[in-house]
Amino acid sequence: MANTASIIERSEVEEIFSELGLTGVLSGALGKDWNKHPAGAKLTSINPSTGTGLAEVLCATEDDYENIVRDSETAFETWRMTPAPLRGDVIRKFGDALREHKDALGKLISLEMGKIYSEGLGEVQEAIDICEFAVGLSRQMYGKTMHSERPEHRMYEQWHPLGMIGIITAFNFPCAVFTWNAAVASVCGNTMVWKPSEKTPLISIAMMKIAQKVFEEAGHPGVMGMIISPDSKLGEKMAADKRFKLISATGSTRMGRSVAQVVAERFGKSILELGGNNALIVMDDADMDMALRAVAFGAVGTAGQRCTTTRRVLVHESVENELVEKLVKVYGSINIGDPLDKDTLMGPLIDRISVDHMQNALTKIKEQGGKVICGGDVLEGKGFFVKPAIVLCQKPIPMMKEEVFAPILYITPIKDVKEAVHIQNDVPQGLSSAIFTNSMQKAEWFLSHKGSDCGIANVNIGTSGAEIGGAFGGEKETGGGRESGSDAWKAYMRRQTCTLNWGAELPLAQGVEFI
């Protein structure tokens, strides 16, 4: 391949890349320096709206991997000694750079991933927001002071950066999830290597090029590095590499289980953000219009490819017919098509495999007694478009316990909130949950220790969408990890307890006497 990008849909991609300052070879290897002469396999980025190529990327080789890891280790020696507020200032500049290129990045996300432009812009804004959040954290990573039982002693705890961390992300949020990890990990004093999804290499390259410029200008090249691989091999290598003190992995439960086992075997740390199978409960006293809007966005947004997508609606039997009737009408009015068209509400699935997976799932659903009352069809023409499906199940079926990463929504009637929560919790995943009710008693029961077993529990808002101020993550096969918000920064640091004896004696703890 020549030393210029092989742009296939030139009019779209070249315009964006020009704005972002991306010229020359599209290398999927970035450490301290952009690899000008990559020798890895070619990877074509596919536009899921047309099924055609956007551009070709040359992937990282194992030699690139070693060079980038070495760059990251070297950068850590100076980055960790940089005062945290100054690290925060670099992240502030990174957020400013993302803001400057927000429109172009949002458009690139829509082109390469397929989510509608409004959602693409929202994802970039989420990355900007987490940068701002991390700037604040850079002055708030507190340790506690404790009273010692020994006289003339002082105890306190402090937090140190872990070192080099690995970030593995999925295709559905190719911009935001990286930044969730990278912004917070950076202000904590860590360096990192990012292995993005092979399905979204262009937005990953754009993000890393922006980061590279910011860190170079700040005098800290190599803090953020990236390796793009056409398959999972380099991600597996990263998980097994003892030099990575933490692996933060976002993706399927199958992938997470493998990463967790490999990382745990070498006594490394991991943050796992895995599958979701989220239920939304609609009680008989719910505001039906609010519930309807929440279900529609939660189930159809990002073509059902969010980990927080609403996949199950558990509706009180007295209002089931009303909700179903209104929801079918809404589904019939959803514009499906080009995600860059302002009137489009749902773009394509990411690839043909996802389309086939959805069709196979619908076949199994019908075999198990589910009744498809709306959608589910594959749309003819270019791209990977489908109609979102609504499935009626009078009682839970086995497929309702599986996460199908596509717009399939199950509706099941329930008699009361306790039955609803039982059905909601009776799945392997535990990410997001919601209830619509105007009863304080039902809401509080849902939020109690007897209620939702998910990491996220919402009242009168949907399952999908997260603000960066709250810790994000779930339980059970969702992995148990937390990113952003609250004290999630502690996952990127190691705690150290310090005791200072400022007296002239050496008393032992618990009154032990020795010599």
Q: Number of C-alpha atoms within 13 angstroms, CB side, residue 343? A: 2
Q: Are 382 and 51 in contact (CB under 8 A)?
A: yes
pLDDT per residue of the chain (515 residues) written in tens, 0 to 9:
222 334 445 567 878 888 887 766 677 777 776 666 677 899 999 999 999 999 888 899 999 999 999 999 999 999 999 999 999 999 999 999 999 999 999 999 999 999 999 999 999 999 999 999 999 999 999 999 999 999 999 999 999 999 999 999 999 999 999 999 999 999 999 999 999 999 999 999 999 999 999 999 999 999 999 999 999 999 999 999 999 999 999 999 999 999 999 999 999 999 999 999 999 999 999 999 999 999 999 999 999 999 999 999 999 999 999 999 999 999 999 999 999 999 999 999 999 999 999 999 999 999 999 999 999 999 999 999 999 999 999 999 999 999 999 999 999 999 999 999 999 999 999 999 999 999 999 999 999 999 999 999 999 999 998 888 999 999 999 999 999 988 999 999 999 999 999 999 999 999 999 98
Enumerate residues 6+ apart whose C-beta is below 8 A from 220. Answer: 75, 78, 79, 82, 90
- Report residue 338 CA to chain centroid gap: 24
Kindly list the distances between the CA atom of residue 80 and the CA atoms of 94, 223, 224, 324, in Å, as whole numbers in the listed order: 18, 10, 13, 55
What are 157's strand-pairing partners?
Answer: 497
Q: 312: helix, coil or strand? A: strand
Q: What integer pLDDT is reported at residue 105 of this predicted model?
A: 96
Amino acid at 318: S
What DSSP string describes 395-432?
Answer: S--GGGGS--SSSEEEEEEESSHHHHHHHHHSSSEESE
Nearest CA to 280 out of 457, 90, 41 is that of: 457
The whole-angstrom separation of Cα 96 and Cα 137 is: 17
Q: Which CATH superfamily is domain 278-471 in?
A: Aldehyde Dehydrogenase; Chain A, domain 2 (3.40.309.10)
The letter for the amino acid at 96 is D
Verify whether residue 307 is a known catalytic residue: yes
The pLDDT of residue 23 is 67
* In contact, 438 and 413? CB cutoff 8 Å: no
Where along the chain do its domains lie?
A: 70-274+481-495, 278-471
- The answer to whether 386 and 151 have CB atoms below 8 angstroms apart is no
Tokens of 293: 């809007």
Q: Which of 290, 113, 270, 131 is nearest to 203 (CA)?
A: 113
Q: Which pLDDT score is estimated for 223?
A: 97
Query: Of 118, 49, 107, which is closest to residue 342 (Cα–Cα)?
Result: 118
- Give domain 70-274+481-495's CATH architecture: 3-Layer(aba) Sandwich (3.40)
Structure tokens at 182: 């990278």
290 Cβ contact partners less than 8 Å away, ≥ 6 residues apart = 436, 460
Note the pLDDT tens digit of each residue in 63-120. Answer: 999 999 999 999 999 999 999 999 999 999 999 999 999 999 999 999 999 999 999 9
| pLDDT at residue 4, rounded to an integer | 32
Look up residue 515 and give its DSSP letter.
-
End-to-end CA separation in angstroms for the chain: 75
Specify the DSSP class assigned to residue 175.
Answer: T
User: Which residue out of 59, 307, 374, 393 is catalytically annotated?
Assistant: 307
pLDDT tens sequence across 301-334? 999 999 999 999 999 999 999 999 999 999 999 9
Predicted local distance difference test score (pLDDT) of residue 5 = 38
What pLDDT does 486 receive?
81
302 three-class SS: helix
- Looking at residue 10, what is its pLDDT? 54
Of the listed 119, 123, 273, 483, which one is catalytic?
Answer: 273
Is 367 one of the catalytic residues? no
- Per DSSP, the residues of 91-153 read HHHHHHHHHHTHHHHHHHHHHHT---HHHHHHHHHHHHHHHHHHHHHTT-----EEE-SSTTE
For residue 461, what are its two tokens? Answer: 């808002």
- Distances from the Cα of 367 to the Cαs of 362, 363, 371, 397, in angstroms? 9, 6, 9, 10
- Cβ count near 50 (within 10 Å): 17
